[in-house]
Amino acid sequence: MKAYRTILQVFDQHHSFALSTHVNPDGDALGSELALYSFLKDLGKQVKIFNTDAVPKNYTFLPFYDAILPAKAFQSDFPEILVVLDAGVLNRIGEDLSHTLIPTKAMVNIDHHNTAECFGDYNLVETDASSTSEIIYRLIQHHGTPIGKDRALCLYTGIMFDTGCFRYSNSTPNAHHVAADLIQEGIAVDEVYRAVYETLSVGTIRLLGEVFQTLGTTPDGKIGWLYVTQEMFRKTGTSHDNVDGFINHIRSIDTVEVAILVSEQKNGDSKASLRSKSFVDVGAIASVFGGGGHQRAAGCEIDKSCEEAIVQLVATIQQRMRDG
C-alpha cells in the first residue's frame, strides 16, 4: 500500500501531467489512461494525453477518448510529471514520443507486465494484477474519490479486455471483485462487450478468410501460426487494427500450446503476437527478440519477413519446450 501512497503524493504535489501508453493501444491501455485522466482532472490538475497511435474505432465509446492527442500535438509545453501506463519499457510509447515527451520533474510508470523494467522515478508495478486498469481502480479507491460511472466504464473495459473476457488465468478473485464493483456503478456489460467485439467490418471478416489460408502448425501440433501481409490489408481495405483476436483461433486448436500471429509492417518487418495455454512462458520468448509481455500473452518486433520471423520464433519456442 506504500507504493499507492507515494504515487498519490506525487499527484498531490504537482500540477501539470502528461499521460501516455503503448503503441497500438488496447482496451487496458486506453481504459487505464482515460480513467486516470478523469481522476486527475477531478483533482483540478492540468492533464494531457499523448499517444503515438489513434484510438481504434471500437473504443470510441469510451468517455473522454477525444482528449487523446497525437504525438505531433506535443510541442514545448513540458509537463512536470509524465505517467506511462501499461508499458513495461519506455520505448513502447513509440520511438518519437519516448525521446520528446520528457517531464521536468519526474516519470511515473504504472504497469502489470512481468517483463516490466520499472523505468520510472516512481513505479507502481504489480505483476499479479489482471490489468493496469485494476491498479488504477485501487489507486482511486485508495484516494477515497468515488469511481463513478464514466471511470467505471473505462476500467471495466480494461479488465474485460486483458482477461480475455474473464477467461484467462489472470481472471483472479481480485479481478472479479473489482469488476463487480465497477458493474455496480451502473455500466451495461453487454453493451461494453458488443462495442469492443461485435462491431467488425465486413473487410475484417474477409481479412480473416485470407489470413486463415496461412495456417501452419509444427508436426506435433503444439505450435500453430498465422500471418498477415500488407497485401492482405490492401485487398480487404483493413489495417493492423483489424487483426485483434485472430490469434485466439489458433490458441483454440486442441493440440496447440503456443499460438503465433505475425503481421507484416509497412517497412516489411514483422510484428509478432504470442499466446500460450498452460506452460510456455511466452513473455520470456518475446524477450529473446527484444519484446516482452506476460507469461501467457506477449509480443515483439522482428526485422525479418513474416515467414522468416515464424521460422525463428518456432525454433526458439521448440528449444524452450525441450529445455523444459
Q: Which of 180, 144, 140, 190 is nearest to 159 (CA)?
A: 180
Phi-psi domain of 102 (left: phi exceeds 0; alpha: psi -120 through 50; beta: other): beta
Q: Which of 234, 288, 291, 226 is nearest to 266 (CA)?
A: 234
Which does residue 92 bind out of Mn ion, ligand 5GP, none, counting CB within 5 to 8 angstroms by kind?
Answer: ligand 5GP
Q: Is 158 a residue that touches ligand 5GP (CB under 6 A)?
A: no
* Neighbouring C-alpha atoms within 13 Å toward the C-beta of 284: 12
Rounded Cα gap, residues 55 and 65, in angstroms: 7
Binds ligand 5GP by CB under 6 A, chosen from 45, 151, 222, 294? 294
Rounded Cα gap, residues 187 and 269, in angstroms: 41
Q: Is 45 a residue that touches ligand 5GP (CB under 6 A)?
A: no
Residue ranges binding Mn ion (CB under 5 A) = 28, 86, 131-132, 162
Q: Is 302 a residue that touches ligand 5GP (CB under 6 A)?
A: no
Q: Which is nearer to Mn ion, 300 or 314 (CB)?
A: 300
Stretch that binds ligand 5GP, among 125-133, 142-150, 151-159, 291-299 (CB under 6 A): 291-299
Alpha helices in 237-281 (DSSP H): 246-251
Q: Is 27 a residue that touches ligand 5GP (CB under 6 A)?
A: no
Q: Is 151 a residue that touches ligand 5GP (CB under 6 A)?
A: no
Say which residue the cell 515467414 belongs to. 307
- Taking the CA atoms of 153, 197, 168 and 293 in sequence, report the sign of the dihedral they define: negative
Q: Is 297 a residue that touches ligand 5GP (CB under 6 A)?
A: yes
Number of helices followed by number of strands (H, E) in the chain: 12, 12
Q: Which is nearer to ligand 5GP, 38 or 276 (CB)?
A: 276
Alpha helices in the chain (DSSP H): 2-13, 27-42, 95-100, 132-143, 148-162, 173-184, 189-197, 202-212, 230-236, 246-251, 282-288, 306-323
Binds ligand 5GP by CB under 6 A, chosen from 27, 31, 224, 292? 292
Rounded Cα gap, residues 173 and 130, in angstroms: 10
CB of 41 to ligand 5GP, least distance (A): 26
Q: Which is nearer to ligand 5GP, 63 or 164 (CB)?
A: 164
Stretch that binds ligand 5GP, among 84-92, 182-190, 198-206, 218-226 (CB under 6 A): 84-92
CB of 245 to ligand 5GP, least distance (A): 9
The number of residues that bind ligand 5GP (CB under 6 A) is: 15
Binding interface with ligand 5GP (CB under 6 A): 22, 88-89, 92, 113, 273, 291-294, 297-301
